[in-house]
């Protein structure tokens, strides 16, 4: 894309371009066009820039004469953007889970898969990668082993409704939870793919649109269930570090964006902390507070506290320390 943009801008054939033509100004113009004409998001723009940086890192190492050009391009910063976390309500999630037809094997599989996404917060690759031997259903604390990104495995608990659904699915397929075989499979009895998982979610969302108008026309993906569980845990008072461990985030900063997604929760936090925008009223003592001070004045022989207070308090100390 960068080569074609440079060729059109400089009116040269792609093969006639020199490395010096791909300078910092041209790369910046290319990035601006991505946002303005191709309507790419900031995240996509940064992804394109990362690819360009990778190329110029190679240039700097392979061609020392072009080090200056490469260095100027490598100083282009990534663009910051506010990441809006889109999440569903509890009613919308339950409507999607209830959409598949439970009288067919496909419908029962779809419901179990949707329930798995909503209750565990697993990534789509983690959900499709679960095998029967990753489940622990018989004991008092059912759980599942998820194989996350970067070879970071984690164990998350699973609630009773998901336990029942998974037990029925394993029984229907003739599996035990000791076999290293996939739980969720497609029409050819092979492990469910990412495309198949996305199709299940969108089909269920489309079916539930008739009963839940807010879902009509909405781009629903498997990852939105992950956002739903994170927001639900956060609103329930679960600590961010616990949510980080649950979702398998490498950094708590990734989890922290959920805390900024709910303005109402922030507002309730301000109210709970007693923080408001109004200045507190000036303290004005009432008669109950002033009475002990009047008694002190009488004990001190009518000495004015405002005139020579050290004499008044000196006499008070003498009265208190005396035997009478």
The residues that are catalytic are 123, 149, 223, 226
Distances (CA, A) of 235 to 111, 262, 306: 25, 9, 55
E strands along 81-137, which residues? 135-136
Distances (CA, A) of 39 to 6, 31, 33: 19, 11, 8
Would you call 281 helix, strand, or coil by DSSP? coil
C-alpha 195/C-alpha 104 separation (Å) is: 21
Distances (CA, A) of 138 to 25, 57, 128, 135, 213: 63, 53, 22, 9, 39
Would you call 73 helix, strand, or coil by DSSP? helix
Instruction: Give the count of beta carbons closer than 10 Å to the beta carbon of residue 173.
Output: 16
Beta bridge partners of 230: none
CB 81 within 8 A of CB 70: no
Q: How many residues does the chain have?
A: 324
What is residue 277's DSSP assignment? S
- For the chain, the straight-line distance linking the first and the last C-alpha, in angstroms and rounded, comes to 99
Residue 292, Cα to own-chain centre: how many angstroms? 57
C-alpha 183/C-alpha 123 separation (Å) is: 15
Would you call 221 helix, strand, or coil by DSSP? coil
CB 147 within 8 A of CB 153: yes
What is the signed CA dihedral for 19, 23, 26, 28, rounded to 10 degrees?
Answer: 130
């Amino acid at each position: 894309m960068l080569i074609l943009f440079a060729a059109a801008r400089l009116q040269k054939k792609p093969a006639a371009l020199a490395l010096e033509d791909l300078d910092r100004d041209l790369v910046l113009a290319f990035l601006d066009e991505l946002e303005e004409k191709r309507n790419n998001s900031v995240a996509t723009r940064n992804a394109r820039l990362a690819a360009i940086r990778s190329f110029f890192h190679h240039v700097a190492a392979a061609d020392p004469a072009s080090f200056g050009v490469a260095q100027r391009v490598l100083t282009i910063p990534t663009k910051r953007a506010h990441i809006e976390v889109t999440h569903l309500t509890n009613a919308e999630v339950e409507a999607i889970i209830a959409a598949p037809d439970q009288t067919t094997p496909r419908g029962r599989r779809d419901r179990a898969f949707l329930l798995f996404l909503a209750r565990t917060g697993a990534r789509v690759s983690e959900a499709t990668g679960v095998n029967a031997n990753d489940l622990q259903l018989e004991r008092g604390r059912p759980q599942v082993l998820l194989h996350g990104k970067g070879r970071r495995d984690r164990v998350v608990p699973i609630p009773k409704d998901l336990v029942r659904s998974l037990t029925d699915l394993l029984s229907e397929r003739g599996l035990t939870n000791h076999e290293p075989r996939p739980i969720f499979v497609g029409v050819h009895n092979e492990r469910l793919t990412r495309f198949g998982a996305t199709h299940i979610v969108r089909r269920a969302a489309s079916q539930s649109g008739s009963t839940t108008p807010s879902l009509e026309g909405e781009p629903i993906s498997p990852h939105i269930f992950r956002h739903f569980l994170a927001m639900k845990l956060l609103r329930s008072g679960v600590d961010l570090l616990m949510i980080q461990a649950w979702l398998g985030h490498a950094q708590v900063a990734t989890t922290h964006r959920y805390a900024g997604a709910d303005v109402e929760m922030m507002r309730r936090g301000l109210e709970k902390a007693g923080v408001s925008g109004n200045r507190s009223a000036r303290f004005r003592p009432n008669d109950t507070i002033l009475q002990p001070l009047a008694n002190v004045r009488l004990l001190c022989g009518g000495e004015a506290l405002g005139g020579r207070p050290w004499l008044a308090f000196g006499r008070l100390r003498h009265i208190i320390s005396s035997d009478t």
